[in-house]
């Protein structure tokens, strides 16, 4: 069973995450940041990972610590649930349209974290959330999950659509990348023999 639970407690945040890579896209998310909750629900629903996130953070300061630490905790749970990464498809990509917006996401579940972020926003906030924090979440997730992650918004005007297409692109890529390859289910997908 590819499941994991992570507890992350700092002076700034208190976060628990439970994740089932082979779930049905069920979620129970509460971070105190409405828009982030909405994005994490999209991540769960479209990846088919079951995801429970309970986060309390220093929101009276700003949303930065909670956003970043949630990315870290979900990434750590993802990596733990993958274990030795044996049998996974490893590479995946998605091209996600959302009305006037089109975003491309490509991943390598390589245990070599790296983020390429080519996403621009025309406004500094979505609701109460700073748009610059989305890059922080993706960076934190990629680092903790051990994935190479490229996110590029090809075009779009509506900031909500732009960021939602990024999360949905990540979700669909993860769904395909973590799938077990029936032809090589007992092998790590690397000539090195380890990821």
- Reported as a single tens digit per residue, the pLDDT across 144-178 is 999 999 999 999 999 999 999 999 999 999 999 99
In this prediction, residue 91 carries a pLDDT of 98
Quote the pLDDT of residue 193: 86
Q: What is the pLDDT of residue 191?
A: 87
Name the one residue in this structure whose structure tokens are 């009276």. 60
Sheet with 101-108, side-by-side order of all strands: 91-98, 101-108, 148-155, 114-118
pLDDT of 185 strictly over 90: no
Residue 195 lies inside a defined structural domain of this protein: no
CA-based Rg of the chain, rounded to a whole angstrom?
16
Q: Which residues span the domain enclosing 35?
A: 3-177
Contacts of 27 (CB under 8 A, 6+ apart): 40, 41, 44, 45, 50, 51, 52, 53
Band (101; pLDDT cuts 50, 70, 90): very high
Q: Give me the mean pLDDT over the 3-29 stretch.
A: 98
Residue 82 located in a structural domain: yes
For residue 193, being part of any structural domain is answered with no
pLDDT of residue 10: 96
Q: Classify residue 52: in a domain, yes or no.
A: yes
Give yes or no for residue 34 having a pLDDT over 90. yes
187 inside domain: no
Say if 36 falls within a structural domain.
yes
Identify the band that residue 72 occupies on the pLDDT scale cut at 50, 70 and 90: very high
Mean pLDDT of 83-95: 97
CATH number at 150 reads: 3.30.230.40
Average pLDDT over residues 95-103: 98
Mean pLDDT calculated for residue range 20-34: 98
Q: Which tokens sit at 112?
A: 């070599």
Average pLDDT over residues 72-78: 98
Residue 185 lies in a domain: no
In the sheet that 3-9 helps form, which strands lie side by side, from edge to edge? 3-9, 13-20, 50-57, 27-30
Contact predicate 74/141, CB 8 Å: yes
**Number of domains composing the chain:** 1
pLDDT at 113 over 90: yes
Average pLDDT, the chain: 97
């Amino acid at each position: 069973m590819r499941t994991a639970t992570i507890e992350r407690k700092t002076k700034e945040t208190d976060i628990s995450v439970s994740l089932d890579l082979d779930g049905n896209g069920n979620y129970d998310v509460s971070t105190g940041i409405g828009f982030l909750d909405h994005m994490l629900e999209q991540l769960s629903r479209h990846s088919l990972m079951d995801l429970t996130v309970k986060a309390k953070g220093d929101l009276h300061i700003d949303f930065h610590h909670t956003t970043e630490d949630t990315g870290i905790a979900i990434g750590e749970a993802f990596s733990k649930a993958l274990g030795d990464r044996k049998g996974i498809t490893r590479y995946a990509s998605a091209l996600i349209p959302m009305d006037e917006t089109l975003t491309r996401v490509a991943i390598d579940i390589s245990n070599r974290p790296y983020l390429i972020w080519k996403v621009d926003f025309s406004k500094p906030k979505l609701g109460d959330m700073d748009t610059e924090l989305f890059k922080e979440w993706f960076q934190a997730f990629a680092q903790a999950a051990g994935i190479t992650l490229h996110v590029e918004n090809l075009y779009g005007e509506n900031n909500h659509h732009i960021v939602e297409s990024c999360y949905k692109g990540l979700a669909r890529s993860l769904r395909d990348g973590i799938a077990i390859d029936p032809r090589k289910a007992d092998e790590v997908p690397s000539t090195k023999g380890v990821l």
